[in-house]
Chain A
Amino acid sequence: MSASADLAQIASAAKADAPPAIELAGVNKWFGALHVLRDVNLAVAPGERVVVCGPSGSGKSTMIRCINRLEMHQEGRIAVEGIELSDDVRALDAIRREVGMVFQSFNLFPHLTVLENCTLAPIWVRRMPKKDAEELAMELLARVKIPEQAKKYPGQLSGGQQQRVAIARALCMRPKIMLFDEPTSALDPEMIKEVLDVMVELAGTGMTMMVVTHEMGFARQVADRVVFMDQGEVVEVGTPDQVFNAPKTDRLKLFLSQILRGH
């Protein structure tokens, strides 16, 4: 085992003392009769970067969408920052304030400018004065390296730019946790890097991140742990080194051979 993997393990062990930022315990979900999440157990420590990978239809997107209740789980317990997801609307609102999300298809609001996209939630949800929200938005747009696009509409930007705006928009809520649902899957190859660079930079700030992605380079570079899912189950969890270099299960071996062949 390499030294860096040891360090990563020590780091995540240290973080494990704090209460988990995200905790899934015995989570089950069905779409109709289809069992899409099977007894998922996972805890993410504050500041930890977790990459979730797996073949399509493995339930990885569904899992992270359950964390801010874009999907509802039917069994088990999900808690974010110690707040349990329940039918209580206040708990859900509290969780959504702390959790930022970036989607595969960006989902920017096309009728609002880039700046308005970024200031909307701070103004309406955090009740921030408009001027402060705009300052914050400009600061974050600068951080994702597109401050000059602030007055444009999303439709005038390239896919990579749109996704960077989407990241800035989520960061404007000052979330404690960021969820990424295949953030680079809808992008042209030449734009993937600009988005990944922003995510790597964000990982460097100590943000708790959960990223569904097939970008194995990104996973090796920033992930503390990699979660491999297949058919709704968490099959293997480990450091990038363990998961990519020493897969234990046949399913993971098969998956790795497939994506490596693809690259």
Chain B
Amino acid sequence: MSDASISTGPRKPPITAVGPIAWAKTNLFSGWLSTAVTLALGYLLIKAALSFVDWAFINAIWSVPSNAQGPQTQICRDMQGSGACWAVIGEKHRFMLFGTYPYEEHWRPALACVLFVVLYIISAIRRFWRWELALVWIGMLTAIGMLMWGGIFGLSYVPQERWGGLPITLILATFGLAFAFPLSILVALGRRSSLPAIKVLCVLYVELIRGVPLISLLFMASVMFPLFLPEGMNIDKLLRAQIAIILFAGAYLAEVVRGGLQALPKGQYEAADAMGLSFWQKTGLIILPQALRMVIPPLVNTFIGFFKDTSLVLIIGIFDLLTAGKTAIVEPAWQGFGVEVYVFIGSIYLIFCYAMSKYSRGLEAELNRHRHR
């Protein structure tokens, strides 16, 4: 008996236990209540999807005629919201993307944005994670600075006050995280230092910065900070906002990194000590590689949060992507088409944030391969 049952070997599961039908049966239609909920939600979902398609595509108006008085948006208004007026995007996209940057020079901020994206892609490829990457960053950021400011190579000079839109958002986010991340590692290490002075300094920094809203830091950077500077000395408003964002993001990231440091077993530190590794060798080769891998999800969570928080600079009058979008519909002809504009701006944020999220998931899987057998 028992010999016979062994000799049959493994069997395939019954057809009712696997496959899409089985999945639907166990997850969607397991009883009368779950069937009812599934049908009701399915109905709502389809209805919502259909009306969105109606609004965004079928009833949408893609362009409006223009005469001497400007664009004729009356046909859009006649729709009374039953269809999207994408004409506003066609008309205003360059203002939303590049703000008040001189119109005929828009290729410069556009190229700057492309360079940013190229920089992100290069940095995302693990094969390029070598010290030379720092040179690429310096080179790219210098090129972006030259493009934006101009004043050399025959490019006309464009003062920072006229920059706006997507480049501002990318500048604030890129510089913000590029500086805040290393800062946060130092602060996290400092908080665990055995030297009391360094420890107190790091704790104070984190608690002070974390204890106030970003908006108040931005106000401080834009209004109060100049009062402390000597007469005639003036630091660029964008730079001041940038510093405020770096300090703020640094405090939050430091706590995330510290979480990773604390999750490491003490034995890892001891093994590195016993081998005679110096503090920085131990930190750079053993501790950080493990600690940072562990905190990739909360780290990227904070990154994404700060990418979007850069939009708060609108309160001190810096023209980032969101502010530019808001300003684009101040013009009377286009007033009332906020939804379309915010959908457009929102999709740009979504693309960047989703890319970060998607990339981090891949990175997490790749870097934590050693944990799997």
Contacts and interface: CB of A to CB of B under 8 A. Distances in A.
Shortest Cβ-Cβ A-B pairs, 9 listed: A96-B276, A107-B271, A107-B267, A153-B370, A121-B275, A101-B274, A125-B276, A97-B276, A124-B281
B119 interface: no
B290 A96 contact: no
A173 B272 CA distance: 13
A120 B285 CA distance: 9
B289 interface: yes
A121 B293 contact: no
A110 B370 contact: yes
A68 interface: yes
Given A111-B289, A111-B290, A125 B275 contact: yes
Contacts of B369: 153
Contact of B276 (A93, A103, A106, A110): A93
Contacts of A242: none
Interface string A77-109: 000000000000000010011011101011111
A260 interface: no
Interface in A58-84: 68-70
Given A103-B267, A107-B268, A124-B281, A96 B373 contact: no
Contacts of B273: 68-70, 96
Interface string B171-183: 0000000000000
A258 interface: no
Given A110-B290, A124-B277, A124-B285, A70 B270 contact: yes
Contact of B371 (A69, A101, A155): A155
B373 A111 contact: no
> Most B CB atoms within 10 A — which of A100, A103, A121, A125?
A121
A173 B167 CA distance: 52
Interface string A147-179: 000000111100000000000011001000000
A155 B370 CA distance: 7
Contact of A109 (B278, B281, B286): B286
Given A70-B270, A97-B276, A124-B285, 7 more contacts: A111-B293, A120-B275, A124-B277, A154-B370, A155-B372, A155-B373, A170-B275
Contacts of B373: 155-156
Contacts of B293: 111
Nearest to A93: B276
Nearest to A68: B274
Nearest to B367: A111
Interface of B: 265, 267-268, 270-278, 281, 285-286, 289-290, 293, 369-373
A217 B252 CA distance: 55
Nearest to B276: A96
A96 B274 contact: yes
A203 B33 CA distance: 72
A108 B278 CA distance: 18
Secondary structure type dominating chain B contacts: helix
Contacts of A108: 271
Contacts of A93: 276, 278
12 contacts: A68-B274, A69-B273, A97-B276, A99-B274, A101-B274, A105-B265, A107-B268, A107-B271, A109-B268, A109-B271, A110-B290, A120-B277
A166 to B, nearest CB: 8
A103 B373 CA distance: 23
Contacts of B370: 110-111, 153-155
Nearest to A104: B267
B130 to A, nearest CB: 16
A111 B264 CA distance: 12
A105 to B, nearest CB: 5
A8 to B, nearest CB: 29
Contacts of A120: 275, 277, 285
Contacts of B272: 109
Contacts of B267: 103, 105-107
Nearest to A97: B276
B307 to A, nearest CB: 28
Contacts of A101: 271, 274
Nearest to A169: B275
Contacts of A109: 268, 271-272, 286, 290
Interface string A24-46: 00000000000000000000000
B228 to A, nearest CB: 41
Contacts of B265: 105, 107
Contacts of A111: 289-290, 293, 370
Nearest to B371: A155
Contact of B270 (A99, A107, A154): A107
B271 A103 contact: yes
B93 to A, nearest CB: 46
Interface string A123-140: 011000000000000000
A22 to B, nearest CB: 15
Nearest to A108: B271
A156 B370 CA distance: 8
